[in-house]
Structures are given as structure tokens and as C-alpha cells.
Chains A and B, each alone.
Chain A
């Protein structure tokens, strides 16, 4: 009985240790942050290589911005966005973001795969390059 008890307890502890250390052995110690490509004709043609707002802000807030754009454009009919530095953009997913970032697969998707985000926007919205294919 004694032996039996310790066997079960050590088995349980082993399962526990293997489960909670999962992240350490799953990726075999390798990781590669996504490499984002800005090489699109639209961006190449920009005099000033800037996003709608500055990159740090965009990185963290673009989903909030897109949501605000959608609500304002669709519900209030305000379709022009004026950036902090005075440039204006059409509040549009396909018409703005994906004009400059027409390489969605090498830009938006790379980032989203890395963090496991799956925006459902493209169930409805088109990606221009995909249509041409």
C-alpha cells in the first residue's frame, strides 16, 4: 500500500511539472518575432514614410482606431480622418490601410499570427491584391 501511494503521488507530480513547464519545452527554445515588410508600391512612393499616426501608437492602438473609424464612417457618415499632423485619410479599411499595406500577408497577417489574433473583418471586407489573383 505504501509503495502504491508514493507511485501515484510521484506520477501526479511528474504530470504536473510537465504540464506547467509546457512553454519551456514546446518551442524547443526557439522563437522568431515577425519580420514586417513595408515594401509596397504605395509606401515606396511616399515622401515621408509615416503611418496614419506614429508607429508606436499604431502598433498598440490600430484595432481601436479601426473600430472608431468604422463606427464614425458607417453610423455618422464622417468618412475623413485628420491625423495629428494634419494629413487626412479616408476612414476605410480597404481604402486606406490596405492601400499602403497592400502586402497584407507580409504585414498584418504576420503580426496577427504571432500573437494569435484573428480579425474577422476580412470575412466581409476585401483585400485588393487577393481579387487581382
Chain B
């Protein structure tokens, strides 16, 4: 019951932002669009640095890599340098495979009860749609550089051309937009439909997905259904980039919605789960070299413990022990 309320609430939140943005666009608020981008970007940058520093400060006394393979030991035991890295190269390889290929999701498995027995099978859906979504998002972000660079980077133009190479419609449909929405739809339905996942999903989980979907939807509407004057949009974006912000010139309501969703997304990102953008680099179970057995790690905050060794004990009580007939190590 409570879980469906989360879904409903996140829809309402998105709707509220859309209405606020529309109101801001209708009222004489466009002046806000000279300040908001800086506020959002500032929060993004400062929040990001703050989160990373805070993570970095957390003490990690011991190497705690999640080992999914045989560690390096005796020469005749085959080790798995990628899953259980013994040196920096292996750790870098493991991080790269994680960041670019989502390797740990590839390992996902699914348990089913067949004839009263649990049966384990591989489940690659989350990996596939997750990778598709993140890859598309990267392409979409890079493509937007055409509004923020002057002259437009040739690489960005090339990427856009490649992305729209099917030339469906005028202006051409970008394939990354379609795959982005497909990925989002899967991720959202997964949380809404699967009872186990719905049970552990919070408001913020749905909200993050819907917020990105709202950004994508308003963007697509602007590109394909309610065209806006892109020249004015770029002039506005370049105004931000050159610290000479201008209020958008007769922008449409959808443009204001798109911008508001984006501002909220980037301002909120460092304080939300979306911070896994930076967090993935900081995950100790992924980025640590497993050399617990070859190197001695001393817990830096161990308080010195006063110990009384057996040798000292015997030295202290030797005479008494001998008198009582107890065996001693040193006569």
C-alpha cells in the first residue's frame, strides 16, 4: 500500500514542478533564468566535492574488496587478477569494467522455485537496460554541448549526425532519445511492477527516474512537436557560459519546464542516490587492491593496548611457580 503512495507522490511532485515552471514562464519571471542556472550548477559542483571529500574521510582500516575470484597466493593456484586484484593494474581493470560495462550487474542472478527446489538462472535485464539508459544519457549530455560551445565542437556535430543517422523525420529523431526513454521505462516499470523491488523502493527512487523522464520528454516535445527558436536558446545558453546571462527571449512554456527540471536535477543530484555518479569511483569494495595477506595493514586508530605477555608473567612469578612445583619455560 505505502509503496504505491510513493509512486503517486513522485508523479505529483513532477507535476508540481511542471506547473511552477509554467507559472514562472508566464509571469514576468524569466529574469530568474539568469540566476537559477548558476545556483543549480554551484550546488552541483559544491555538493559533489563535499560528498566526495566526506566519503574520502571515512576511515577504511582494512582492504575490503568484494572478492569474486581466487586471490593471488601460491604460484600453482590459478588466481583471478580482475575479480580479485593483487596489484593496481587489476584494480584499474576492475573499475573500468564496472564503470563502462556495469560488470557486477552482469552477474545478477534470479532464483526460482521449480518443483520445490530453488533454481538459479542468470538475469541480464537490469544490466542490459541499465547500460542502455546510462549510455544514452551520456550521448544526450554530450550532444547538448552544441548549445554551450561556440563554434560547435566538430566531435559533437559528428556525434549528433551519427545519432540521427536513420533520418526519421525532420529534424531527425536521435536514436539515443529513444533508447533513453526505453531504458527509463524499464527501470521505472521494474520498480513499479516487481513486488520485491517495489517493496524496497522509496519516493526518491521513483522521483529520480521520473525527473529524468520529464527532462527527456520535454526535450523531445520541443524537438519534434512544439519547435522552439533554437537560436534564442543557444544565445541564452552561451550567455550563461560567458557570464553575461540574458533572459530567454519569448521562450515557450515547454522550454521553461525543461530548464526547471534540469536545474532541479543537477542541484539535487549530489544529495541524492544519483550521486553514484561520483560514488562508483569511491566504492572500496571495487577499487581496493586485495593485498591483505601480502602486506600488513595496521588499523590507524588502534589505541595502544597494555599487554602482559606470558614471558613477563613467568619472570614475575617464576619463584612462586617453582615453589608450587609448576613447570616453567626458563629455569
Contacts and interface: CB of A to CB of B under 8 A. Distances in A.
Contacts of A21: 45
Contact of A59 (B53, B149, B231, B242): B231
Contacts of A20: 44-45
Contact of A114 (B48, B150, B156): B150
B229 A117 contact: no
B215 interface: no
B160 interface: yes
Interface string A69-108: 0100000000000000000000000000000000000000
A5 to B, nearest CB: 7
Interface in B224-254: 227-232, 234-235, 238-243, 250
Contacts, number: 97
Interface stretch (B130-138, B166-174, B194-202, B257-265): B166-174
B1 interface: no
A97 to B, nearest CB: 14
Interface residues of A, number: 39
A124 interface: no
19 contacts: A13-B52, A16-B278, A20-B45, A21-B45, A22-B148, A23-B240, A27-B149, A27-B150, A27-B242, A29-B242, A33-B235, A34-B231, A60-B229, A60-B230, A63-B227, A114-B152, A115-B147, A115-B230, A115-B234
Given A33-B231, A116-B157, 10 more contacts: A9-B56, A23-B149, A31-B235, A59-B231, A59-B232, A60-B230, A63-B171, A114-B234, A115-B152, A120-B167
